[in-house]
Amino acid sequence: MTDPYRIERERMVKTQLKKRGIRNSRVLEAFKRVPRHHFIPKKLADQAYADGPLAIGESQTISQPYMVAIMTQSAEIVPGNRVLEIGSGSGYQCAILAELGAEVYTIERIPALCEQARKTLRRLNYQDIHSRAGNGTLGWEEEAPFDAILITAGAPEIPKPLLDQLAIGGRLVVPLEEDYSQVLYIVRRSKEGFHRERGERCTFVPLIGKHGWKKDPRA
Ligand code: SAM
């Protein structure tokens, strides 16, 4: 079947991802395959491959493609990894992780978005994605430990349950509040403990819940 967006997707990979330093060829190939236009409201389809986040309803967003890419590359996913995503949103990040061969667990706070993402992923035939609606700051204890955890919403600090659920050798990627804006952090767990690396500035909607913001700081 011809895909009217294939060329736009390739352009997105070249001009937004490669140009800004995304080098992992498996990550770049995954972005060429996932049809982002299926993860957004139909009326925005002509902006599907634009260089920014888009509204998906419920005051939430699908993240900028570059942000999804830098988080994915930083998580160093290899096939067979068990990966937990907090903030399913549209389901797009899940699809990218599935394309990399991960077994994906994803939690979304807003039930309507959880259901919508589930439907989209099912329609596109993504397997190995387990999703549930709930407070992701508590993690998914029954399925822990995870090789990678991606928190796709801005947190005041790293939720302790998520650190506990990271495997030894695992990577956790999280946007953290810093000086009234956000910075991406990559946390690695070794036998000795946790090592944090500071990444770039970013802007995400807030992580709300017991170990996140107590209420939406935008309200
Ligand atoms: N990863 C998503 C995608 O690919 O479309 C984008 C995520 S959007 C930037 C952040 C999401 O985190 C929102 O859908 C929001 O409802 C969700 N969220 C916020 N706090 C949460 C929590 N405690 N647990 C689970 N999801 C949460």
* pLDDT tens string 15-49: 999 999 999 999 999 999 999 999 999 999 999 99
> Given 3.40.50.150, 3.40.718.10, 3.40.50.10330, 3.30.70.100, which CATH number is that of 6-202?
3.40.50.150
Residue nearest to atom 15 of ligand 1 (CA): 87
Domain chopping of the chain, boundaries: 6-202
Percentage of the chain with pLDDT > 90? Answer: 94
Q: Which band of pLDDT confidence, cut at 50, 70 and 90, is reported for residue 137?
A: very high
Which atom of ligand 1 is nearest the CA belonging to 206? 19
Does the pLDDT at position 1 exceed 80?
no
How much is the pLDDT for 202?
96
Does the pLDDT at position 50 exceed 80?
yes
Does the pLDDT at position 12 exceed 70?
yes
Model-level pTM? 0.97
Length of the chain equals 219
Percentage of the chain with pLDDT > 70? Answer: 100
Mean pLDDT throughout 109-132?
96
Q: Helices 25-33 and 65-74: crossing angle, nearest 10°? A: 140
Alpha helices in the chain (DSSP H): 6-12, 25-33, 65-74, 92-99, 111-123, 160-164
Mention every residue, 6+ apart, whose C-beta is less than 8 A from residue 93.
63, 68, 71, 72, 85, 150, 152
**Is 63 among the catalytic positions?**
yes
DSSP string for residues in 23-39: --HHHHHHHHHS-GGGG
Look at residues 74, 38, 30, 72 and name the one whose alpha carbon lies nearest to residue 54.
38
Mean pLDDT throughout 73-93?
98
Site to substitute for ligand 1 among 88, 90, 129, most atoms within 8 A of C-beta: 88
Site to substitute for ligand 1 among 68, 149, 205, most atoms within 8 A of C-beta: 205
How much is the pLDDT for 124?
97
Give, in degrees to the nearest 5, the angle at Cα 107 between 74 and 177. Answer: 55
Cβ atoms of 62 and 54 within 8 Å: the answer is yes
How much is the pLDDT for 4?
85
Cβ atoms of 181 and 201 within 8 Å: the answer is yes
CA of 1 to the centre of ligand 1 (A): 32
To the nearest whole number, what is the mean pLDDT of the chain? 96
Does the pLDDT at position 2 exceed 80?
no
Q: Which band of pLDDT confidence, cut at 50, 70 and 90, is reported for residue 14?
A: very high
How much is the pLDDT for 74?
98
Site to substitute for ligand 1 among 34, 61, 203, most atoms within 8 A of C-beta: 61
Of the candidates 25, 59, 63, 131, the residue annotated as catalytic is: 63
Mean pLDDT throughout 102-120?
98
Q: Give the pocket of ligand 1 (CB within 6 Å).
A: 60-63, 86-87, 89-90, 92-93, 107-110, 113, 135-137, 152-153, 204-205, 207-209, 212
* pLDDT tens string 162-219: 999 999 999 999 999 998 899 999 999 999 999 999 999 999 999 999 999 998 888 7
DSSP-derived secondary structure letter, 59: T
Q: What burial class does residue 44 get, using C-beta atoms within 10 Å of its C-beta: 0-12 exposed, 13-18 middle, 19+ buried?
A: middle
Which structure tokens are listed for 218? Answer: 């935008």
Look at residues 110, 86, 104, 96 and name the one whose alpha carbon lies nearest to residue 39.
96
Which atom of ligand 1 is nearest the CA belonging to 58? 16
